[in-house]
Structure 1
Amino acid sequence: MSRLNIKFLCVIYFTCYIFIKLDGTEYAIFLLSFFFSFLAPLITEYDKHLGELNGQLKYYQKQVGEMKLQLENVIKENERLHSELKDAVEKQLEAFPLGTEIGTDTYADDETVRNLQEQLQLANEEKAQAVELWQTVSQELDRLHKLYQEHMTEAQIHVFESQKQKDQLFDFQQLTQQLHVTNENMEVAGGADRMGKCRGLRTARKLRSHRRDQKWHDKQYKKAHLGIALKVNPFGGASHAKEIVLEKTNQQFLKTVTEQSVMIEQLRKKLRQAKLELRVAVAKVEELTNATEDLQGQMKKKEKDVVSAHGREEASDRRLQQLQSSIKQLEIRLCVTIQEANQLRTENTHLEKQTRELQAKCNELEKERYEAIVRARNSMQLLEEAHLQKSQALLEEKQKEEDIEKMKETVSRFVQDATIRTKKEVANTKKQCNIQISQLTEELSALQMECAEKQGQIERVIKEKKAVEEELEKIYREGRGNESDYRKLEEMHQRFLVSERSKDDLQIRLTRAENRIKQLEIDSSEEISRYQEMIQKIQNVLESERENCGLVSEQRLKLQQENKQLRKETESLRKIALEAQKKAKLKISTMEHEFSVKERGFEVQLREMEDSNRNSIVELRHLLETQQKAANRWKEETKKLTESAEIRINNLKSELSRQKLHTQELLSQLEMANEKVVENEKLILEHREKANRLQRRLSQAEERAASASQQAIKAYLRLEHII
C-alpha cells in the first residue's frame, strides 16, 4: 500500500459518511461495508510486509557489523606485517659492514650484477601483484559496504513512511468506529422521523407552489374560454369547462406516467450495469491480491538466495586469509634473498671502486689525446672555412655584378618598352576617340538636317491644314451646293486625314531622333571618361616604374659597399689562419711524442689488469653457479605458490562475479515486482473511479425517481383539485 491508496480510501470513506448523513440509502451502507471488507486484508498484508522488512534490516545490520570487524582485523594484520618487515630490513642494513678488505684486485663482471638485478625485479613484481590483488579485494569490500549503506538508507525511509501510514490507519480506524456509533444511534433513535419530516416539508412546499400555479392557470383559462362559451350557451358553461379541464389533466397525467416509466426502465438498466461492473471490480481485486501473494513468495525466495550469497562471501574471506598467510611466507623468503643480494652488492662495490680508479686514469689520458686531436682538427677546419669563405665571397661579387648589369639592362628595356607602349596606347586611344567623335558629329549633323526637314514638312502640313480649314469654313458658310462641291469636301477631308497621319509619323520620328541623339551624347561622354581613366592609370604605372628604378640604383650602391667589407674580412681571416696553422703544427709534434711514451706505460698496466681480471672472473663464475641454483629453486617454489594463489583468486573472482550477477537478477526481479505493484495500484484506482461513477449514476437516478414521484404527486393533486 502507498500513501495515495490510503488517502483515496479516506476520501471514499468521508464521501460515504456525508452521503449517509444527507440521505440514508442502502447503497451507501453497502459501499461502507465493501470498503471495510477491502481494507482489512490490505492492512494485515501491510503489517506482514513491515515485519519482514524489519527482520531484513536486523539481519543486514548484523552482517555489516561482522564485515566491519573482519576488515578491521585484516587492516591491523597488514599494518603489523608491514612494520615487522620494515624493522627487519633496517636491522639487516645496519648489520652489514660498510667496506671489506680484499687482498687481490678483482674486476666486477657486469653480467652477474645484471642477473642479480633481474632476480630482484622479479621478486618485486611478484610482491606488487600480490599487493594489487589485495587492493582489488579491498575495493570490492568497500563497494559492498556502500551498497549496504544505500540499502540501509532506503530501508530507513521505508520504515519512516510505514510509521506514518500506520498512524494514518489508526486515525482512520478511530473515525470509522465513531461513524458506526453515530450511524447506529441515528438509525435507532430518530432516523425515520427525521427523514419523514424532511420529506413532508419538501412535499408541503411543493404542493403550496403547485396550488398557486394551478389557481392562476384556472383564472386565465376561465377568462379566455368561458367567456366565449357563455355567449354561445349561457346555461351550460360550467359543465363544459370542467370536461375540458379534466381531459387536459388526464392527457398530462398520461404523458408524465409514460415518461416516468421510461425513465424507471433506463435507471433499472443502469443499476444492472453498475452491479455487473462492481462484480468485475471485485474479481479483479481478488486477482490482484493473489498476485501480491505470489510476489511475496518470490521475495522470500530472493531472501534465501541472499543468505546463501552471504555464506559464499564468508568462504571467500577464509580463502583470502589463507592467501595472506602464503604471502607472508613469500615475504620472509624475499627477506632472505635480499640479505644475500646485499652481501653480493658490498663485494661488487669494492671491485667497482678499483675499476673506476683505473678507468679514470685511462679516461684522463684519452681526454688529453682527444683534446690535441680536436685542436688540430679545429685549426684545419678554420683554414678550410677561410678558403671557402674567400671563394664564396668572390663568387658572390661576380654574381652580384652580373645581377646588377642584368638589372640595368632589364630596367632600361622595361622603361623603353613602357614608354613605347604608353605612346602607342595614347595615340591609338586618341585616334579612336577622334574617329568616334567625327562619327558622332556627322551623325548629329545628319540628324539635325533630318530634324530641320521634318520641321519644314510639319510647318507645310500645318499651313495646308489651316488652308483646308478655311476652305471648309467657307463651304459650310455658303452651304451645300452641288455634288461636285461635296466631293471636293471629301477629298479635302481625306487630305486632312493624310496630313494628320504624316504629322503624327513625323512627330514620332522626331522623338526617336532626339532620343538617339541623347544616347549618343551619353555614350560619347562615357567613352571620354573611360579614356581619361586609362590615361591616368598609364601615368601611375610610369611613376611606379620610375620609383622602382630609383630603388634598384640604391640597392646597387649597397651591394658595392658590402663587397668592399667582405674583401677586408677575407684578408683578415687569411692572416688568422696562417698563424693558427703554425701553432697547431708545434702542438701536434709535442703531443705525439708524449702520447707514444704514455701508450707504452698503459700497455704494461693493461696486461697486468687482464691477468687479475681473469682470476676474479673464474671465482665469480663459481659463485654465480651456486646462486643461480638457489635462485632456480626459489623461483620454482614461488611459481608454484603464485599459481596456487592465482587459481584461488580466479575462483574467488568467478564466485564474486556470480554473486554480482545473482544480485543483479534479484534487483531486476524486485524492479519488476515494484512495477507490477504500481500497475495493480493503478487498476485499483480505476476500479474505484468506476465505483464512484456508478455511485453518481445511482444518485442521479434516485434524484430523477424523486422528481418523477413529485411530478406524479403534483398531477394527482391537480386531479383532486379539479375534481
Structure 2
Amino acid sequence: MHQRLKMALGHYETEEVQRNTAEQEHALGGDGTSGSRMMDQSLSALITEYGNRVEEMKQQLQHYQAQMGEMTLKLEEVTKENERLHAELKEPLEKQLEALPFVHLETDIPADEGVDKDQAVERWRTLSQEHDRLQQQYQEQVTKTHILMTERKKQNTNQQFLKTVTEQDVELEQLRKQLRQVKRDGQVANAKLEEMMVLKEKLQSQLERKEEDRISAQEKETASDKRLQQMQSSIKQLEIRLCVAVQDAEQLRAEKVALEEQIRELQAKSARLENETYDAVAKVQDCIQLLEEANLEKSQALFGEKQKEEEIKKLQDEMSQLAENTAARIRKEVDTAKKQCNLQVSRLTEEISALQMECGEKQSQIERAMREKRAVEEELEKIYREHREHESDSRKLEQLHQKYLLAEAAKDDLQRSLQMTQNKLKQLEMNSEEERSRCQEAICKLQSTLDSEREKSAFVSEQRLKLQQENEQLQHEMEGLRKLAVEAQQKAKIKISTMEHEHAVKEHGYEARLKEMEDTSHKSTAELRRLLVAQQKATNRWKEEIKILTETTEARISKLKSELRQQKLRSQELISQLEIANEKVTEDETLMMEYREYIDRLQRRLSQAEQRAATASQQSLVRFLLSTKSIPYFCIWSSEESSSPGNPAIEANLLPVLHDPSQFRVSMNFQPNYPKDPRVQTSCSFSSGTCTEIMDFARTSSVYNCKCFEESCK
C-alpha cells in the first residue's frame, strides 16, 4: 500500500511539474502562478518527506530482517552442535555401558530404569520440538510486532497525509477566495475601462469643441482686427473732420471780427461772448471741444447777422444818404455771410448727423462686443471648469484670462471715450438749442430795441469815434484770442500725436498678444493631441492586460477545478484505504490479544513442562551418574527470567574437554537486546570435583536439563 501511494504521488508530482512548465510557457505570471507553485512546492516537500520516511522504514525492516537471519543462523549452528555432540557422546557412552558389568546393575538398578530413560529421551525430544515450535512462534511474534510498528508508522504517515490534505484544502479555499477576488478585480477593471472609454469619448468631444471654439476665436480675432482697423480709419476721419472744423472756426472768427467792426452797439454782448469763447478755448483740450467752439461761433454769426440787419434798418431810417451806399455793401456782405453761415450750419448739421450715425454704429458695435465678450467669458468659464484639473492648462488659461482682462480694459476705455463723445455731442445739441432760444429772445429784444435805436441814430453818429477806438481795442483782443486759439490748436495737435502714438503702441501690444495667443493655442492643441495619443495607448495596453489576465484566471480556475476533482478522488481513495487499514488494525489488535493469551498459556505450559523435565532430568542424571564414574558433561539451561513473556531465552553449552576430563568450559549464546544475567558467566573452568559440586553450580546458575554421565555420580 505504501509503494502504491508513493507511486501515485510520484505520478501526480510529474503531472504537476509538466502542468507548471506548460503554464510558465503560456502565461505571463501572476498571483495565481505563485499560489500554484507554493502548493506544488508543499506537495513535493511532503512527498519527499514521505519517501524519506518510507526509506527509513525499509532500512529498519532490512536491519531487523538481517538480525533475524543472524539469530536463525546462530540457532541452527547451536542445534547442529548439540546434535553433533549428542551423537559423538552417545557412541562412547553406549560402548562404556556395554563394557560395564551387567550383574551388579541388575541387582542395584531397579527394573524401571530403562523405561525412565526412554521416557526422558522422549520428553527431551518433545521439549526440543516444543522449543523449535516456540522459536517459530517467537519469530512470528517478532514479525507481527514489526508489522504493528510499520502499521503504526503507516498510521502516523496517514495522519500526516490527512493533515497535508486538510492544509491543501485550506490552501484551495484560499485560492478560491483569491480567484473570487481576482474576478472582482477583473470586474472592477472592466468597469474602470468602460469609465475610461466614456471619459475618452468625452475628451474627444471636448477637444472637437475646443477646436471649434479655437476656430471661432480666431474668426472673432480677425473680425476684431478688422473692427480695430475700421475704428482707426474712423478715428482718422474724425481727426480730419476736426481739422476742417478748426479751419472753419478760424474762418468764422475772422468773419466775426469783420462783423464786430461794423457792430458797435453790442460790445457788452460781444465781450460776454468773447469771455465765453475764452473759457471754452481754455476748457477745450480734445478735438471734440473744438466742435463746441464752432457751434458757438455759428450762433454768434447768426446773432451778428440779425444785429447787422437791425443796424441796416436803423441806418436806412436815420441816414438815408449813407444807408444807400452802405446798405448795398452791407447787403452783399450779409448775403455772403448768410450763405457761408448757412453752408457752415448745413455742414455742421450733416457732421452732427454723421456723428450721431457713427455713434449709433459704435453703440451697436459696443453691444456686439459686449455680447461677444459675454460669449467669450462663458466659453472661458467652460474651458476653465473643464480644465481645472490640468495645472498646466490652468496657468495658460490664467494668462489668457489676464490678456482678456487687458483687452476688456482697452474696450472699456474705448467705451468711455465713446460715451464722452456722446455726452459732448448731447451737450453741443443742448447748447445749440439754448443758443437758438437765446437768439430768438435776442431777436425779439432787438426788434424792440430797433425802435429805440432809430431814435438813438443821432446819438450813434456821435459815438462812432468811440466805437472805432473800441474796435481797435477789440482787434487787439482778437489778436490775443487768435494767439490763444493757435496755442490751443498746437496743444490739440500734440494731444492728437500722443493719442496716435499710444494707439500705435496699443496696436503693437495687441498684435504681440494675438501672436502669443496663437502660439499658446498651437501648443495647447499639440499637448492635447499628445495626451490623447498617450491615453489611447494606455487604454489599448489596459485592454490587452485585462484580456491576458482574464485568460490566465480562466485557465487557472479550470486547472484548479481539475486539481480539486483529482484531490477529492484521491482523498476519497485514501479515506477508503484508511478505513480498510483501520479495520485491519482492529483485526490485528484482536489477533494480537488472542496470540498474547495463547503465548501466555504456552509459556505457562512451558514452565510447567520445564519444571517437570528438570525434576525428571535430575532424577535421571542422579541415577545415571551413580552408574558412571567418568564425567563427560553436556548441559542445556535457560534462566528463570526467560519464562517471562517478551524476554528471549539464554542458551549455554557445557562443552566437555575430552583430553582433560577434569576441566570443562561453559559457553553461552544470548539473544540481542537482552540484559546479561549477573549470575551466569560467559566462560568458566572447574577443577576435578564431585558431581554434587557441578550440580550445585548448575542450580545456582539456574541451569536446567543438565545431564551427567559420570559413573561416580550414583
The TM-score bracket by the shorter chain reads under 0.3
Higher relative contact order (CA 8 A, sep 6+): 1
Which one has a larger percent helix, Structure 1 or Structure 2? 1
Q: TM-score, normalised by structure 1?
A: 0.25
